[in-house]
Structure 1
Amino acid sequence: MNEQHNILSFGELLLRLSSAGETFLGEGNGVTVFPGGSEANVAASLGQWGLRCSYMSRIPDNELSKQVIQVLHKLGVDTTPCLLEGDRLGLYFLLSANGLSKGEVVYDRKYSALSQLEPGMIDWDSVLEGYTWFHWSALTPALNTALAEVCKEALVAAQRKGLTVSVDLNYRNKLWNYGKQPIEVMPDLLQYCDVVMGNIWAANKMLGTAVLETLGRDTPADVYFEHAAQSAREIFDLIPRCKHVAYTFRFMDSPTHNLLYGTYHDRESNFISTIHETNEVVDRIGSGDAFMAGLIYALIAGKPGQEIVDTATSAGFKKLFVKGDFGDGEI
């Protein structure tokens, strides 16, 4: 393991409220609360795996926030970069206990502390001092124009300081509601990225890469692999700086079923993981973030291409059996 790396993950810290019943309404259903947020999930995994990792968000200075960042601290994540400002944490409601159905997420993120960040409020040159790797996701510029500009500030500073930059192309259509489409915002931001992770459909939404409408649940893995390789080639052409692309393929046929595999691409080669399948899913939330963390871990470790995709996919698969948004300590 290359101990020289020091990673900063930046994004919105969220609270997840999960119903213990079919809905939040009615007596006796109960609600379970978990800390989460894509970038925090990545940091939680990296911290547990022993990498030097910090997490930065903007959160209110209250006891609830302190309890949440204490959880991250216990998992090995340095939370000192967090800005204790603003009035409220962002929330999301999961209308099931474990994310085992579709269309069940309701966001409550407007007017959160992070959503009210403005350009010029963070001295990114100072914040990034001492770090070698900066991680962010498409969820942040999805919230508003100001946050897209804040991301641009961070990325310019990261490039100036020579950091490796990774991004998760998380696409949530419920978040892009301020008059901009991802294709209008993301191409410029992605020019600063060395590592791009997501799926072929998110890449299409954010970069305009090709994806066939005929692809579906029954498309064989080898066909998806061919399309992933072509999509990655398009990304390499569009982003001269990019050196690594990874995609996940996740299919759910029932509440407890999940089929998961991944692909990894550099500018010379393409790799596909073992196909993982289970009918015993505990919690689907955060599996993509665990994949992202596994990808970072494998790249830092200098693993060869096949081991990179196998490590990332294994991490994503293991998360399916862990309650809450954060993964566990296995890699």
Structure 2
Amino acid sequence: MAKITGFGEIMLRLATPRGQVLDGTQSLEVDFGGAEANTIIALARLGHDAQFVTGLPDNDWGRRAAAMLASAGVRRSTRYIDGARMGTYFLESGAGLRGGRVIYDRRNSAFAVCDWSDLDWSRLLADADWLHLSGITLALSESAADACENAARAAREAGCRVSFDCNYRAALWADTGSFGAACRRIVALADLVFCGCREIRWILDQPRPDEISPDPAHGFGLLGDVAPHMTVLAGTLHEKDDSGAPRLGGFATNGEESAKLEPHGLGQVVDPVGGGDAYAAGVLHGLAEGWSVVRAAEFALAAAALKHTIMGDQLRATPAEVMRYAVNGGAVSR
């Protein structure tokens, strides 16, 4: 079991019932989610000592979000901001050829307006094995972006490894150049980086897509120029078949050993949101267990695929359940 700390915003999730669109639904299903929180919750369910540092409004929604984290087995370091609002996202659930759609309403949220400059990261990361951060947090406020960098530097000084999921969200960035520049601050301090070819291109400020090979080891070598501490590069691969059904694959490499797991069909998808976060949790779980990058990627892909069968943002499964899914697929367990 590893001790893993995450930092980021947990949001109120308001989703349409399946088959309905926002411009017509009469009800919205209430839940909570957010990339960093999703990964930390999944890690708690996978058996790790998980802690989440966040900011919430001092109202019923904030306390309900905190209670959800606690019920998932996550320890919290929470700042409650009086008079602030809960960051929210509206999810229009997709169906068939109609993809899902997200509308963010998180400007000036409790997390975004919080002053993070006085966080004592040496205390928060005491005895921690991993720190998990995301590029989403870099877009929310200058204070949050600075806190990410401060956390990563404190982790390096404490001998705690840093995991960074680039997690590009077009709705949060003015352009890809500002995204790449922001990510370089954290990639330079990270041991484990989650990103694909396009994010590598933006981080390296390379305008031509054909300059980045889809070979994971090639991406590892290129990113190494700006990521001197990186030991593993990982990410998911997405495709659609001729009918429009999603296919999911993944990769992980340490530059010498690589796994490139070709996309395969997912069957009936219940909720795809959080699949990448489940993959990140799976890789972190594997590395914390001392597995090879190949075994970690295989476990992570099974975890991500399993998440697609679960409603809500988070993977809620034990390691045994993930492994059973990997071996038996949809067979009934008796």
TM-score range, shorter chain: 0.7 to 0.9
Residues 320 and 179 of structure 1: is their aligned pair in 2 closer, same or farther, counting only changes over 3 Å? Answer: closer
Deviations 1:47-95 (CA, angstroms, capped at 9, x unpaired): 111111111110112222222222222222112x122225111111112
Whole-Å separation in 2 of the counterparts to 1:167 and 1:277: 27
**Counterpart of 1:181 in 2: which secondary structure?**
helix
Map of 2:22 onto structure 1: 24
Q: Does the 8 Å contact 2:197/2:219 carry over to 1?
A: yes
The answer on whether the counterparts of 1:41 and 1:289 sit within 8 Å (CA) in structure 2 is yes
Higher deviation after alignment, 101-110 or 239-248: 101-110
1:280-319 per-residue CA deviation (whole Å, 9 max, x = no partner) reads: 1111100000000000000001112321110111111111
1:156-175 matched pairs, under 5 angstroms = 156-175=153-172
Partner of 2:32: 35
Report what 1:85 is aligned to: 81
Counterpart CA distance in 1 for 2:52 and 2:163 is 14
**2:301 & 2:312 partners in 1: Cα distance?**
19
Q: 2: CA distance between counterparts of 1:179 and 1:296?
A: 27
In structure 2, the residue matched to 1:183 is 180
* Paired residue type of 1:183: G
Q: Distance in 1 between matches of 2:224 and 2:258?
A: 13
**SS of the residue aligned with 2:221?**
helix
2:98 matches 1:106: no
Deviates more, 1:270-279 or 1:316-325: 270-279
Q: Which residue of 2 aligns with 1:95?
A: 92
| Unpaired stretches in structure 2, ≥5 consecutive residues | 323-334
Name the structure where helix makes up a greater proportion of residues. Answer: 2
| Counterpart residue type for residue 127 of structure 2 | G
Retained in 2: the 8 A contact 1:282–1:321?
Answer: yes
In 1: Cα distance, 2:191 partner to 2:63 partner: 33
CA separation of 1:9 and 1:101: change in aligned 2, threshold 3 A: farther
Cα distance in structure 2, aligned partners of 1:153 and 1:314: 33
Note if 1:271 corresponds to 2:259.
yes
Q: CA RMSD in A?
A: 2.5
> Could you say if the C-alpha distance between residues 316 and 30 of structure 1 is closer, same or farther in structure 2, counting changes exceeding 3 Å?
same
Residue type matched to 2:79 in 1?
Answer: L
Paired with 1:40 and 1:170, the residues of 2 have a C-alpha distance of 13
Quick check: 182-191 or 250-259, which moved more? 250-259
Asked if the contact 2:189/2:228 (under 8 Å) is kept, the reply is no
Other structure's SS at 1:29 match: coil
Q: Helix, strand or coil for the counterpart of 2:147?
A: helix
- Aligned counterparts of 1:111 and 1:255: Cα–Cα separation in 2: 41
CA positional deviation for 1:253 = 5.1
Q: Which runs of 5+ in 1 are unaligned?
A: 216-222
CA distance in 1, matches of 2:68, 2:112: 22
The one of 109, 127, 132 equivalent to 1:130 is 127
Deviations 1:171-213 (A, max 9, x none): 0111013997112222122111000012222222233368636
Aligned equivalent of 1:12: 9
Inter-partner Cα distance in structure 2 for 1:214 and 1:31:
44
TM-score by length of 1: 0.88
Correspondence 1:313 to 2:309: no
- Say if 2:177 and 2:205, in contact at 8 Å, map to a contact too: no
Answering whether residue 221 of structure 2 is matched by residue 233 of structure 1, we say yes
Per the alignment, residue 242 of structure 1 pairs with 230
Cα separation, partners in 2 of 1:300 and 1:11, compared to 1, 3 Å:
same
Matched AA of 1:66? R
Note closer, same or farther for the CA distance 1:255–1:19 as it changes in structure 2 (3 Å cut): farther
Q: Which amino acid aligns with 1:316?
A: A
Of 193-202 and 118-127, deviating more is: 118-127
Normalised to the residue count of structure 2, the TM-score between the two structures is: 0.87
Report deviation, 1:139.
0.2
Q: Is the 8 A contact 2:20 2:93 kept in 1?
A: yes
Q: Which amino acid aligns with 1:315?
A: A
How many angstroms apart in 1 are the aligned matches of 2:206 and 2:258?
Answer: 17
1:327 equivalent in alignment to 2:315: yes
Please state whether the residue corresponding to 2:39 is helix, strand or coil: helix
Tell me if the contact between 1:58 and 1:83 (Cα under 8 Å) persists in the aligned partners.
yes
Tell me by how many angstroms 1:114 deviates.
0.8
Residues 255 and 327 (structure 1 numbering): CA distance in 2 closer, same or farther, change over 3 Å? farther
